[in-house]
């Protein structure tokens, strides 16, 4: 038995929004793989919950007319990985998400929950950020869309106003078309482990594959929340591909990041990893995109 | 607050059923206490060990971190549902016996359910792929080798049977 005061099961999105108005202290539960475990630890014991798990209308991946990939917030990691739209246009997201937990965790965990819990180690966070993803939120005042980068405020805190639900993650055509991505997770184990660091890079090469036209690099656990690395991106944007450029890119990462010492790894080790992983991921992207270094 | 109950209708091991359930119950609580499905083991209770794994609509879930009320309208399978009416073991259960993939036995039902989920895909996987697909289940006795042997053996048997038609 879970120690909860009450469970309100939403029957539609509108019903969920109404329940959240009616019970302003209730927390929202999606797949529950964070919330239920916290309850076991006694952290969220005795609280009220609005469960949105049964809302199939919040599941599924669609490609809209303008080429935007819309991932319903309740879509499980497994379903994101298996989606043909994801496999065809943003395989890097499937690569990243397939490193989460184990099969059972990927079947219950949702991409919305993975971003709403505001955790820096979320395996989807860095990749979504490197794809310039946006967050669609719905509340009593209607729908708003904000960049994922602005969605993260601080550890455990995201920009969801009282009474709002995260409906979907959106990846615009400009975010993925022509880009090639690569994700590296550094952890102690190959499964059932939380990232010591996660690195996601997306590049767009020139037609002759000699120049990096654009590059987006994002890290998880390189700071309090998942983050983009603007100075490193600036170093390679518009530059011709060379070995020296790879090293310059790696060195430039240091200015953007702010890793901490935790029991998983010391700050110094993380700084070393960040440089190494950023360079490896960039090299992998270039190779995958048909370029040579 | 007064206990809050809800009528839950679902299919358990092929049979439709319904029961009034306390909304605070996990699926493993309900399967063990209300349906005596004692193959569903409660190990870590935080979704790490996989001992409580069940199939819901063909996918594996840790029933310890799944609310019982969420199975409304769904199809749930435990290892009791793999065994024949007369107690005959299914192919994957028999393989676990034949390959000595069981020592203390606590993790076994969870492993068998995870194996069953991937075997139903009728695809050939490498041992590395099998390890990744079974990574959500922990075993502290066997060292995993014999478990992977059992899954691989049943996978080959089913593929062969399918090829013969």
Beta-strand runs (E) in A140-229:
142-147, 152-154, 157-158, 165-171, 180-186, 197-205, 212-220, 227-228
> Closest Cα of chain A to B86: distance in Å?
30
CATH number of the domain encompassing residue B121 = 1.10.150.120
Residue range(s) defining the domain that contains residue B45:
5-81
Q: Among B58, B81, B104, which residue terminates a domain? A: B81
CB contact under 8 A, B60 and A103: yes
The yes/no answer on whether domain A59-174 falls in CATH 3.30.465.10 is yes
pLDDT tens for B40-78 read: 999 999 999 999 999 999 999 999 999 999 999 999 999
Cβ neighbors of B21 (< 8 A, separation 6 or more) are B5, B6, B7, B8, B30, B34, B68, B69
Q: What is the pLDDT of residue B89?
A: 98
> Closest Cα of chain B to A206: distance in Å?
36
Counting the structural domains of chain B, the total is: 2
Is B18 at the interface with chain A, CB within 8 A? no
> Closest Cα of chain B to A189: distance in Å?
10
The pTM assigned to this predicted structure is 0.96
Q: Among B47, B81, B115, which residue terminates a domain? A: B81
Indicate whether B74 and B97 sit together in one domain: no
Q: Is the pLDDT of residue B3 over 80?
A: no
Q: What is the pLDDT of residue B23?
A: 96
Percent of chain A with pLDDT over 90: 97
Indicate whether B25 and B67 sit together in one domain: yes
CATH number of the domain encompassing residue B48 = 3.10.20.30
> Closest Cα of chain B to A81: distance in Å?
14
pLDDT tens for A197-242 read: 999 999 999 999 999 999 999 999 999 999 999 999 999 999 999 9
Q: What is the pLDDT of residue A264?
A: 92
The CB-side HSE value for B100 (13 A sphere, CA atoms) comes to 4
Whether ipTM exceeds 0.85: yes
**Does residue B136 sit within a domain?**
yes
Model confidence band, residue A98 (pLDDT cutoffs 50, 70, 90): very high
Question: Long-range contacts of range A98-102, CB-CB < 8 Å, 24 or more positions apart?
Answer: A99/A123, A99/A183, A99/A185, A99/A187, A99/A195, A100/A124, A101/A191, A101/A192, A101/B47, A101/B136, A102/A191, A102/A192, A102/B50, A102/B135, A102/B136, A102/B137
Task: Specify the CATH superfamily of domain A177-288.
Answer: CO dehydrogenase flavoprotein, C-terminal domain (3.30.390.50)
**Does residue B140 sit within a domain?**
yes
Closest C-alpha among A30, A103, A42, A106 to residue A72: A30
Cα diameter, chain A: 62
Q: Among B81, B103, B132, which residue terminates a domain? A: B81
> Which residue of chain B has the CA closest to A76?
B59
CB contact under 8 A, B132 and A191: yes
- Nearest CB among B1, B29, B117 relative to A1 is that of B29
**Does residue B86 sit within a domain?**
no
Q: What is the pLDDT of residue A190?
A: 86
- Distance CA(A14)–CA(A170), nearest Å, equals 21
**Does residue B158 sit within a domain?**
yes
Domain ranges of chain A: 4-50, 59-174, 177-288
**59-98 of B, contacting A, C-beta below 8 A:** 59-62, 65-67, 69-70, 72
Percent of chain B with pLDDT over 70: 99
């Amino acid at each position: 038995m879970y120690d909860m005061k009450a469970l309100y099961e939403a029957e539609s999105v509108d019903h969920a929004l109404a329940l959240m108005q009616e019970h302003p202290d209730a927390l929202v539960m999606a797949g529950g793989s964070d919330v239920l475990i916290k309850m076991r630890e006694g952290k969220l014991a005795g609280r009220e919950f609005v469960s949105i798990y049964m809302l199939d209308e919040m599941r599924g991946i669609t490609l809209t007319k303008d080429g935007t990939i819309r991932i319903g917030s309740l879509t499980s990691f497994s379903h994101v990985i298996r989606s043909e739209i994801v496999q065809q246009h943003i395989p890097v997201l499937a690569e990243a998400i397939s490193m989460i937990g184990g099969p059972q965790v990927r079947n219950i965990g949702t991409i919305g929950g993975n971003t709403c819990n505001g955790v820096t180690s979320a395996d989807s966070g860095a990749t979504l950020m490197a794809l310039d993803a946006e967050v669609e939120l719905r509340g009593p005042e209607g729908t708003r869309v904000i960049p994922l980068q602005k969605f993260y405020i601080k550890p455990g805190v995201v920009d969801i106003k009282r009474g709002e639900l995260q409906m979907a993650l959106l990846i615009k055509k400009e975010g993925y078309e022509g880009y090639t991505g690569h994700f590296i997770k550094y952890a102690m184990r190959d499964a059932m482990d939380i990232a010591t660091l996660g690195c996601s890079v997306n590049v767009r090469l020139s037609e002759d594959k000699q120049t990096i036209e654009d590059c987006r690099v994002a890290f998880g656990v390189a700071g309090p929340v998942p983050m983009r690395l603007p100075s490193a991106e600036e170093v390679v944007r518009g530059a011709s591909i060379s070995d020296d450029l790879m090293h310059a890119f790696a060195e430039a990462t240091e200015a953007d990041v702010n890793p901490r010492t935790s029991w998983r790894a010391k700050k110094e080790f993380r700084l070393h990893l960040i440089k190494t992983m950023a360079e490896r991921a960039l090299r992998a992207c270039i190779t995958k995109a048909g370029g040579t270094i | 607050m007064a206990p809050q109950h809800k009528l839950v209708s679902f299919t358990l091991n092929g049979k439709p059923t319904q029961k009034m359930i306390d909304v605070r119950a996990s699926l493993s609580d309900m399967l063990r206490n209300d349906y005596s499905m004692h193959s569903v083991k409660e190990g870590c209770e935080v979704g790490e060990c996989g001992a409580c794994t069940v199939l819901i609509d063909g996918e594996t879930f840790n029933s310890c971190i799944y609310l019982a009320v969420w199975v409304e309208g769904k199809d749930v399978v435990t290892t009791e549902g793999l065994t024949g009416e007369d107690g005959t073991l299914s192919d994957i259960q028999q393989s676990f016996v034949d390959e000595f993939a069981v020592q203390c036995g606590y993790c076994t039902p969870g492993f068998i359910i995870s194996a069953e989920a991937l075997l139903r895909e009728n695809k050939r996987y490498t041992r590395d792929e099998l390890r990744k697909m079974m990574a959500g289940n922990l075993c502290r006795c066997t060292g995993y080798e014999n478990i992977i042997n059992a899954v691989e053996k049943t996978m080959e048997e089913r593929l062969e049977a399918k090829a013969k038609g």
